[in-house]
């Protein structure tokens, strides 16, 4: 059996009044992969996701989930995915257990099955100890975990996560990443939106970078970083007299130009392993350096690079 795409998005467009928020977006999501929609605030990520999950009607274009059109076969398409929204979409006034029970019943589980699934999910997401407390007393992380647990009641093979870690502290964020990885290992397809390149890099197999409602770039995280020149190396040459010599020696080794500000040099590395070679060259020429730093490209860099000259 040839695998059909989990999602096919074709020429999706949405206007709010005069403003085109999503502008002719097309992409495919393969089964079993993590697909990231990366972009700054207001780029159109959430609007795209809301159209994919039938929460918002598209002005033009089409979304197919496992081959089913989300407009013509809305109910069927809706039964095939789980969604975790950007704002915790659970009931604040009732407990975690009650939330899971109610959503299980609404998903069509019998009372017996609902009870069992609730117990399973509470333990899977380490929420047993707070199961009967009102959500008002929950931390942000617990709320997100419950939210995700609710999305997984029917064990959907496709899961949408809208900015799953925005606002979480680093420890809770790592827990969330582990949970997402576990889902993928179990065979789920995950579509997530994020504004952190770091997160996309950690989780996504494929990325679409969205800006001003358009897909500006698609590819794997590695490809995208490569395109913007990869890792940045910065260091300061200790003696002013040696700066010119250093630039001359390294010019052949790095792709792109070496930027020079006073004694400070900065250059792009195609691969981090180049660093050893650079340091060896400098040592051989007896050029001393200090304040060395190696920086992974940030989302800011990606955007600067992709949108430069366009605006």
Partner 1 sequence: MDVRMHKGNVFMNTATMAYRNLLKTIHNPDNFMDVIIQPVLFMLMFGYLFGGAIAGGVQAYLPTIVPGILIQTMLSAGSGSGAQIREDLDSGVFDRFKSLPMAHIAPLAGQLFADSLRLLIATVTSLTTGYLMGWRPGVGFGWIVAIGLLAIVTGWALSWVFALMGLLAKSAGAVNSASLMTMLVLSFMSNAFVPLHSLTKPLRVIANLNPVTYVITAIRQILATGSWTHEALLVLVVDVVIVAIFAPLAVWAYDRN
Work out whether 116 is an interface residue with partner 1 (CB under 8 A). Answer: yes
Closest distance between partner 1 and the C-beta of residue 34, in Å? 20
Q: Which residues are bridge partners to 244 per DSSP? A: none
Work out whether 153 is an interface residue with partner 1 (CB under 8 A). Answer: yes
CA distances to 17, 52, 200, 237, 257 from 268, in Å: 43, 38, 21, 17, 8
One residue of 154, 179, 227, 281 binding partner 1 per CB under 8 A? 154
Q: Which two tokens stand for residue 91?
A: 């009931």
One residue of 23, 59, 69, 113 binding partner 1 per CB under 8 A? 113
Work out whether 289 is an interface residue with partner 1 (CB under 8 A). Answer: no
Q: Which is nearer to partner 1, 65 or 250 (CB)?
A: 65
Task: Using DSSP, state whether 204 is helix, strand or coil.
Answer: coil
CB 268 within 8 A of CB 254: yes
Which one of 27-35, 100-108, 216-224, 302-310 is the stretch in contact with partner 1 (CB under 8 A)?
100-108
Work out whether 102 is an interface residue with partner 1 (CB under 8 A). Answer: yes
Interface with partner 1: number of residues (CB under 8 A): 37
Q: Which is nearer to partner 1, 155 or 248 (CB)?
A: 155
Work out whether 75 is an interface residue with partner 1 (CB under 8 A). Answer: yes
**Beta strands 206-211; 34-38: pairing state:** parallel
Q: How far apart are CA 233 and CA 273, in angstroms?
A: 12
One residue of 87, 182, 271, 288 binding partner 1 per CB under 8 A? 87
Work out whether 73 is an interface residue with partner 1 (CB under 8 A). Answer: no
One residue of 33, 91, 124, 301 binding partner 1 per CB under 8 A? 91
Q: Which two tokens stand for residue 174?
A: 């790592």
Provide the b/e sequence for 267-285 (b: ≥16 CB within 10 Å): bbbeeeebeeebeeebeee
Cα angle 9, 204, 62 (rounded to 5 degrees) comes to 5
Work out whether 272 is an interface residue with partner 1 (CB under 8 A). Answer: no
Work out whether 30 is an interface residue with partner 1 (CB under 8 A). Answer: no
Which one of 147-155, 166-174, 178-186, 195-203 is the stretch in contact with partner 1 (CB under 8 A)?
147-155
Q: How far apart are CA 138 and CA 134, in angstroms?
A: 8
> Please, is 59 exposed, middle or buried when counting C-beta atoms within 10 Å of its C-beta (0-12, 13-18, 19+)?
middle
Q: Which is nearer to partner 1, 67 or 108 (CB)?
A: 108
Q: How far apart are CA 39 and CA 196, in angstroms?
A: 8
Work out whether 98 is an interface residue with partner 1 (CB under 8 A). Answer: yes
Q: Which is nearer to partner 1, 72 or 295 (CB)?
A: 72
Q: How far apart are CA 60 and CA 110, in angstroms?
A: 38
Work out whether 134 is an interface residue with partner 1 (CB under 8 A). Answer: yes
One residue of 11, 72, 92, 128 binding partner 1 per CB under 8 A? 92
Q: How far apart are CA 50 and CA 241, in angstroms?
A: 59
One residue of 10, 13, 89, 263 binding partner 1 per CB under 8 A? 89
Q: How far apart are CA 192 and CA 10, in angstroms?
A: 18
> Please, is 159 exposed, middle or buried when counting C-beta atoms within 10 Å of its C-beta (0-12, 13-18, 19+)?
buried
Which one of 20-28, 47-55, 121-129, 185-193 is the stretch in contact with partner 1 (CB under 8 A)?
47-55
Which one of 52-60, 165-173, 218-226, 242-250 is the stretch in contact with partner 1 (CB under 8 A)?
52-60
Q: Could you list the residues that contact partner 1 (CB under 8 A)?
A: 53-55, 75-76, 78-79, 81, 83, 85-94, 98, 102-103, 105-110, 113, 116-117, 120, 134, 150, 153-155
């Amino acid at each position: 059996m040839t695998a059909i795409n989990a999602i096919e998005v074709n020429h999706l467009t949405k206007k709010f009044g005069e403003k085109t928020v999503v502008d002719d977006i097309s992409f495919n999501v393969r089964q079993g992969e993590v697909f990231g929609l990366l972009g700054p605030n207001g780029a159109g990520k959430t609007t795209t996701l809301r159209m994919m999950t039938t929460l918002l009607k598209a002005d033009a274009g089409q979304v197919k989930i496992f081959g089913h059109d989300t407009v013509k076969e809305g109910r069927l398409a809706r039964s095939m995915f789980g969604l975790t929204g950007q704002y915790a979409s659970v009931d604040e006034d009732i407990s975690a257990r009650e939330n899971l029970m109610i959503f299980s019943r609404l998903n069509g589980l019998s009372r017996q099955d609902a009870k069992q699934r609730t117990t399973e999910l509470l333990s899977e997401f380490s929420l047993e100890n707070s199961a009967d407390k009102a959500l008002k007393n929950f931390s942000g992380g617990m709320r997100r975990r419950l939210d995700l647990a609710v999305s997984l009641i029917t064990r959907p093979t496709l899961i949408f996560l809208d900015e799953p870690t925005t606002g979480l502290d680093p420890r809770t964020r790592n827990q969330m990443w582990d949970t997402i990885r576990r889902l993928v290992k179990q065979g789920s397809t995950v579509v997530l939106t994020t504004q952190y390149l770091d997160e996309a890099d950690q989780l996504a197999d494929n990325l679409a970078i969205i800006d001003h409602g358009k897909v500006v770039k698609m590819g794997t995280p590695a490809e995208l970083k490569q395109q913007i020149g990869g890792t940045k190396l910065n260091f300061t040459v200790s003696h002013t007299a040696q700066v010119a010599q250093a630039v001359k020696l390294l010019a052949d080794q790095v792709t792109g130009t070496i930027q020079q500000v006073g004694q400070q040099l900065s250059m792009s590395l195609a691969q981090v392993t180049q660093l050893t070679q650079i340091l060896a060259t400098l040592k051989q020429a007896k050029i001393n350096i200090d304040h060395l730093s190696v920086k992974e490209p940030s989302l800011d860099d990606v955007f600067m690079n992709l949108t430069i000259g366009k605006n």
